[in-house]
Structure formats: C-alpha cells, structure tokens
Amino acid sequence: MNSANHNILQIKDLKKYFPIRKGFFQRVAAWVKAVDGVDLEIEEGKTLGLVGESGCGKSTVARMILKLLEPDEGNIIFRDQDISRFSEKDMKPIRKEIQIVFQDPYGSLNPRMTVGQSIEEGLRILGIPRGEKRRGRLEKLLKTVGMSPDSADRYPHEFSGGQRQRIGIARALSVEPSLVICDEPISALDVSIQAQILNLLKDLQDQLGLSYLFISHDLNVVGYLCNKVSVMYKGNIMEYAPTEKLYEHPFHPYTQTLLAAIPEPEPGRKQAAITMREDIPISAPPPPGCALQGRCPHEAPECRDEKMPFVKVGEDHFVRCWRVGQNGVARYEP
Amino acid sequence: MNHQNTLLSVNNLKVYFRSDDTLARAVDGVSYEIRREETVCLVGESGCGKTVSALSILGLIPQPPGEIAGGSILFNGQELLGLGDEDLQKIRGNQIAMVFQEPLTSLNPVFTIGDQIGEAINIHENIAEAEVNARCIQLLTDVGIPSPAERMSAYPHELSGGQRQRVMIAMALACNPDLVIADEPTTALDVTVQSQILKLLRSIQKERAMSILYITHDLGVVANIADRVYVMYAGVIAEQGSTENIFRQSQHPYTQGLLASLPTRSKRGQRLHSIPGTVPSAAYKPPGCPFHPRCPHAITRCREEYPGMCDYGGGHLARCPVMFKNDQWCK
C-alpha cells in the first residue's frame, strides 16, 4: 500500500499470537494467531471501517494500536513515528492523541465515580489544574456531546445506555485526540438511539477533524459511515477498498458472502444465496494457506499451500485471494 | 377480530412486576394473534415487553415478582392463563416450543446433544429408545447438521454457534409443535450464520406447516422473515400489519422514526433521522400515549388520553389518532 504521508496511522504486517498452554508445566501446546499480518491505513480526518465476525481479531488490533497489548511483530506508524516498540514513558504523549470509545457503555464507566470525575481524569493527566478552567472545559465537553452541564455531578447509573455512550465519547475527547478508535460503539444500544450516536460521531468529525477507526460487525452501519473499509477474517485482512467499491464490486468470496448476508430492511427483497459453509471449531492448528479454506466455495489446490499476498486489483483496492487475477478480474465464476 | 385460522390469540394481556415501591407495567394491554402456518414478528427495543409477553404464553413468568394482571391467552381455543403446571407441561415443548437467544447457555454442557434432543421426546411420548434415537438423527438431518449420527454424541462445546442454534431448533421441533416461539434466535450469531438460520427457519416453517412467533429488535430480520408484524413500544402494540404495511405504509410515528433512523449505505453523507429522547422505563411511563414525549406530531390530547387503535383496513392498525386522516380520536 502506498505510504503517502496524509495517513495519520499506518499498520504494517502486525502480528499477535496467543499461546495455548497445556499440562502441569504449562507447556505451550499451540498458538492462536489472533492477528496474523494485518495492514491498515487511516487517512487524516477520515473513517476506516474494520469489519469482521466475532473472534476475527479486530479488537486485538485496536488494543495493540493503543499499546494495551504488545504486538509480537510488525509496525504501528502514527504520524511518522513507529510506536510499536515504544515504552510506557514514550507512549504517554501518544496516548493523548489516540483514544478509544468502548462497546459497552455500562461496563466502561466506573460506577463509583461521578461523570465529571470520569471525564476529568484525562484533564488532570493533561496538567490542567483543578478549578474554574477545568470545570469550564468539562462543561464544554458535555455540551459538545449533547449533555447538560449539570450531568457532571451525577453517577453513571442515572443515565441510559445512549447517554452513557455520550459520556464515554466525552471522556475520549477530553484530551483532544486526533484519532479515535470506536470499538462497536453502537451495537449495545437500542435502534432508536443508534442514529443519535452515529450523528454525534459524524458531527464531531466535521467540527474537530477527527480520524476514526470504526470497528463493527454491522455492514449497514459501516456502509453508512466509513470512507474506506478493511474486511478481516481470522486475523487476516481479506479485502480493502473505498466503501463504494467494496459494496459495488467485492472481489473476495468472503466479502461477497458478508454482503449477501446483510439483512436489508426491505420486504420482498430476495436474499442472495449463501454458498459458504459454516465454520466448525477445530482443535488442530489451522493449515497453512488461505484462512478461509474449508469454507470457501471457490477453493482450489493453490489455496491450501501458501498465504496469498495482498494484491492490488484497482485504485486503493486490495484483495487477498489466490483466485483473483492481478488485473482485477475474478478468475472464478462469481 | 379473530381470524378463523387463529392458532394463538393474546387478548389485552397485562403483565406487571412489583417491587417494594414501584409497579413496572412491562406488558400493558397487548393483543396479538398468530394464524396457522404464518410467521409473526414481534419487534421492539429492549424493555418494550416483547419477551415478557412471549414468556407468559408458556407460563414462564416467575410469580412473584411478576403477576399476570389481566387478559387471556387462547391456544387452539384453550385458555392458557391459570393453567396448572402439569397441564402446561403437556403443552410446553409439545405443542408450543421455544428457541432462545443464546444457544450456549440454553444447552446443558454436560449432556450430549443426542441426550438433550431425546429428553424432549421422552417427556411427551412413550416410545422405545431406538426409535427416539432414529428420530433425533432425522431431526439433526432436517436442521442441516452434517454427519448427524456421529454428532449425536457430541457435546455443545464441540459445535459452532450456528450449529448449536440448529440443535436448539431441532429440540424445539422434536415433538412436532404447532407453534415455535423464537426469541432473538440469531442476535448472538454472525451475519453469515444468521442468514443461514433464517433460511432454515423459513424452510422448516413451510415443510412442517407450523407457525412461528419471532421476537427481534432487528428490522432487517423482520423484513426477511415475517408475514405479519407487531411493533411494540413501552408495553403496548404501536402498530400492526403485513410486512408490506409496516415497511412501506407505516402510519405510526414510532415505526416511521425507526425506519428512518436505520443506517444504510444509500443514506451515506446524509444526516440520519433520529428519535429524540430515550425509551421510558416500564415503571415510569408517561401518561397518555407512551410515545408522546418523543413524538414530532404530538398534540395536547396525546399527553392526556391513551390513544386507541386506528384501523387502516386489511389488518393494518396503528395506535396514533393524530396521523389518522378521519379527524376522529380512535377508541
């Protein structure tokens, strides 16, 4: 992928393996390849969607970007600095720049801290002294996310899920980050509230020029919000493209299946047939080659040998599939 | 209003939950009916009473704290409310079966799936073990489990999420029920698996000529599977009608708001319509129409008087007199 410097974040060949330990001596019996060579890039002021099914490693990627997990291999380049080997101390100024909004607005706020205390923690670390100035900043933040300033003295249990998610967003914004990782920020919310939070995220991006990494399993939401999309499956990025291209001309059989499976809120619409086989949990280590083997309807012998490189099939459009030709022509019958 | 083909009819059902000082009216006068061989969706947000109303059909509401405060539930002409445990047991799993949301917690981890499907058959029918086994294998085949005979001795943890839900469906089908209640059966599953389970439910429903009461919050799923839809809000039915009615001619501001707020790719770049405010809690419902504090069309009367259902014909009803063209307050 091109390394143009308008990228706020670029990830190259990121890997994280978790050991499975067995027996009395906790010998490492196998490795789970949670993230197995992931490349991502997020443009300044834009939104990258990271989609995939549960367990595909999307949240592990998020945690590595924040350095909540140490990557095993690969580079995380934030504004021309490779932060992948940064120490805690080196990370401190970077943490201010990269913030996260979590999925569960119930679990991610401390129930014994007032909303104000939760949000102020960031301001305190920034070195803004207690008093008028900090209070003013706090009230401004609450207003930005559409909450009344007097919510600062109340506790999380007094708020609904949607309001708590607003508080979570205010907390992330308190240190004035430039990149916000949104890890399934609306999937725990009611349908009528989801739109409120999506609108808020959009407004904030326009006002503050934020860049987002938007992690989701919901292709309707990603198609609505994101500029570009990376599709992840079992620790690998299978396809990366601008949203329009990905939805109009998906190359990868996995992307095609995901898109066909979207339940569209439109009656009478014929659902495309899903030809992909169901995933069966196996205890044996996965075979080499494509992560999708065993499920893919277009599988060929070459898919079982070696992991496919990420191939360019069009402008900004990359696919990891042996059966897709170099020139953007699918070699199998789609 | 009963259709001649009615299998189950719930009439003015009220289920309340009492705590020390509050009374939560979780289901507050709900009526719906399910006809033979149709799929009915009960759609609504969390806490709107959709699950509680379904659990009361099977007598699964713990009392106390719950109480059935009124109404009736007729199944095949028989009143289910007030039925003793023994009589209910004959219906549960036999004529009415249930599929729950989370297959991993609703399957027993220490029994094989063969044991668990067989259990349902053994409770209701007195047949030889070999026959039970043969029937279990057939059921697993019907729900699309590969190599079913070997899978009989598998434990739940050896199956994928989608396969576990298939096993749950096989259990529900074990005694050939007339009605299957499916409570968010695909919410915990990935989209590709969800679409396969929906396909399975559709084909089983046709083959076995049974009825499905499908509970969900996902309008995409509703459009995909339902023949008729009931939209619930704060313990009452806000709108009901055919899937076509609800998605293309919705008359209730809540339904309209829900549909407009769905993010889709076609709305890219546009601001999403959003319903202001939040869902009221069952214990503190506003007077009059429960939706009025969030409704863009609310008038003074909505704050004072509980609105009736307005009939748009052809089974399409909406509880909103303001949107009704006839200028009359529906009763």
Give tens-digit pLDDT for B127-186: 888 989 999 999 998 888 888 888 899 999 888 888 888 899 999 998 889 999 999 888
- A158 part of a folded domain: no
Task: Measure the CA–CA gap between B223 and B317, rounded to whole angstroms.
Answer: 18
Task: Measure the CA–CA gap between B56 and B30, rounded to whole angstroms.
Answer: 12
Task: Measure the CA–CA gap between A98 and A64, rounded to whole angstroms.
Answer: 12
Does the pLDDT value for residue A271 go beyond 70? no
Residue of B279, B271, B229 whose CA lies nearest to B250: B229
Query: Is A219's CB within 8 Å of B191's CB?
Result: yes
How many structural domains does chain A have? 1
Res A192: pLDDT:
83
**Shortest Cα distance from A207 to chain B (angstroms)?**
15
Q: Which of A163, A223, A267 sits opposite B264 (nearest CB)?
A: A223
CB-based contact A175:A148 (threshold 8 Å): no
Does the pLDDT value for residue A334 go beyond 50? no
Res A284: pLDDT:
58
State pLDDT tens for residues A130-162. 888 888 889 999 998 988 888 899 999 888 888
Q: Which of A217, A265, A276 sits opposite B223 (nearest CB)?
A: A265
Residue A299 token pair: 């599988």
Quick one: B312 exposed, middle or buried, by C-beta within 10 A (0-12, 13-18, 19+)?
A: middle
Cβ-Cβ contacts under 8 Å, A280 against chain B: 159-160, 163
> How many residues in chain A?
334
Res A285: pLDDT:
64
Res A113: pLDDT:
93
If DSSP codes are grouped into helix, strand and coil, which group holds residue B197? helix
Interface test with A, best of B45, B140, B157, B190 (most A CBs within 10 A): B190
Average confidence (pLDDT) over A2-19: 83
- A298 part of a folded domain: yes
- A238 part of a folded domain: yes
Percentage of chain A exceeding pLDDT 70: 91
Q: Which of A53, A195, A221 sits opposite B273 (nearest CB)?
A: A195
Q: Phi and psi (nearest 5°) for B239? A: -155, 150
Residue B168 half-sphere exposure toward CB, CA atoms < 13 A: 28
Query: Is A263's CB within 8 Å of B198's CB?
Result: yes
Residue of A182, A267, A270 whose CA lies nearest to A221: A182
Which segment, A42-46, A142-146, A190-194, B82-86, is predicted with the most confidence on average?
A42-46
Residue of A nearest to B259 (CA): A265
Residues of chain B with pLDDT under 50: 1
**Shortest Cα distance from A268 to chain B (angstroms)?**
7
Average pLDDT, chain B: 89
**Shortest Cα distance from A132 to chain B (angstroms)?**
31
**Shortest Cα distance from B104 to chain A (angstroms)?**
14
Query: Is A260's CB within 8 Å of B195's CB?
Result: yes
**Shortest Cα distance from B134 to chain A (angstroms)?**
24
Query: Is A278's CB within 8 Å of B160's CB?
Result: yes
Residue of B7, B52, B45, B46 whose CA lies nearest to B29: B52
Res A279: pLDDT:
67
Provide ipTM, 2 decimals. 0.82
Average confidence (pLDDT) over A109-125: 90
Average confidence (pLDDT) over A223-246: 94
- A64 part of a folded domain: yes
Task: Measure the CA–CA gap between B330 and B103, rounded to whole angstroms.
Answer: 43
Beta-strand runs (E) in chain B = 6-18, 23-35, 39-43, 66-75, 78-79, 96-99, 179-183, 211-216, 228-233, 236-242, 310-311, 317-318
Parent domain of A244: 7-97+177-319
Residue A182, beta-bridge partner list: A101, A214
Residue A48 token pair: 């990258």
Does the pLDDT value for residue A15 go beyond 70? yes
Say which CATH number the domain at A219 has: 3.40.50.300
Residue of B nearest to A266 (CA): B223
Quick one: A48 exposed, middle or buried, by C-beta within 10 A (0-12, 13-18, 19+)?
A: buried
**Shortest Cα distance from B241 to chain A (angstroms)?**
13
CA distances (Å), origin A158, targets A135, B21, B49, B125: 21, 18, 22, 51
Task: Measure the CA–CA gap between B53 and B79, rounded to whole angstroms.
Answer: 15
State pLDDT tens for residues A195-224. 989 999 999 999 999 999 999 988 999 999
Res A281: pLDDT:
59
Res B182: pLDDT:
93
CA distances (Å), origin A130, targets A126, A171, A174, B124, B278: 11, 17, 14, 69, 33
**Shortest Cα distance from B86 to chain A (angstroms)?**
38
- A160 part of a folded domain: no
Q: Which of B163, B247, B264 sits opposite A224 (nearest CB)?
A: B264
- A67 part of a folded domain: yes
Cβ-Cβ contacts under 8 Å, B191 against chain A: 53, 217, 219, 258, 261-263
- A112 part of a folded domain: no
Size of interface A-B (CB pairs under 8 A): 132
Q: Which of A199, A217, A224 sits opposite B274 (nearest CB)?
A: A199
Query: Is A271's CB within 8 Å of B195's CB?
Result: yes
Res A283: pLDDT:
54
Q: E strand or H helix at A8, and its extent?
A: strand A7-22
CB-based contact A194:A165 (threshold 8 Å): no
Average pLDDT, chain A: 86
- A105 part of a folded domain: no
CB burial of B166-178 (b: ≥16 within 10 Å; e: otherwise) equals bbbbbbbbbbebb
Cβ-Cβ contacts under 8 Å, B259 against chain A: 265
Residue of B nearest to A281 (CA): B160
Query: Is A263's CB within 8 Å of B243's CB?
Result: no
Task: Measure the CA–CA gap between B328 and B314, rounded to whole angstroms.
Answer: 19
Cβ-Cβ contacts under 8 Å, A192 against chain B: 45, 257-258, 261, 274-275, 279, 294
Query: Is A263's CB within 8 Å of B190's CB?
Result: no
Task: Measure the CA–CA gap between B139 and B173, rounded to whole angstroms.
Answer: 7
Res A329: pLDDT:
55
